[in-house]
């Protein structure tokens, strides 16, 4: 059988660990999907951090929406 890509459910770039508990075998399509979701979450957190640093974020909502 062909091997499946292993997805690190705990970001390898942050932890540097290959703990089997945090590895999930995924087909290529689902592995790509998992990383696209990771990127959207990362982008959202980056935006919130930037807004908080600029004083435009209060309790998770931008002041323009509050």
Tell me how far apart the alpha carbons of residues 34 and 11 are, in angstroms, rounded to a whole number: 11
Q: How far is CA 49 from CA 3, 16, 22, 40, 43, in A?
A: 38, 24, 26, 14, 10
What is the predicted pLDDT for the residue at 66? 44
The whole-number pLDDT of residue 58 equals 59
Give average pLDDT by consecutive 10-residue segment, the chain, 66 residues: 75 76 86 80 78 66 52
C-alpha span between 1 and 49 (Å, rounded):
44
What pLDDT sits at residue 64?
55
Two tokens, residue 27: 């087909």
- Looking at residue 16, what is its pLDDT? 78
Instruction: Quote the pLDDT of residue 11.
Output: 74
CA dihedral of residues 3, 15, 40, 33 (deg, nearest 10): 10
């Amino acid at each position: 059988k062909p091997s499946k890509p292993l997805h690190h459910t705990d970001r390898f770039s942050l932890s540097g660990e290959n703990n089997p508990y945090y590895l999930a075998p995924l087909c290529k399509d689902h592995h790509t999907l998992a990383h696209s979701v990771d990127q959207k979450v990362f982008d959202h957190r980056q935006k919130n951090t930037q807004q908080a640093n600029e004083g435009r974020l209060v309790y998770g909502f931008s002041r323009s929406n509050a």
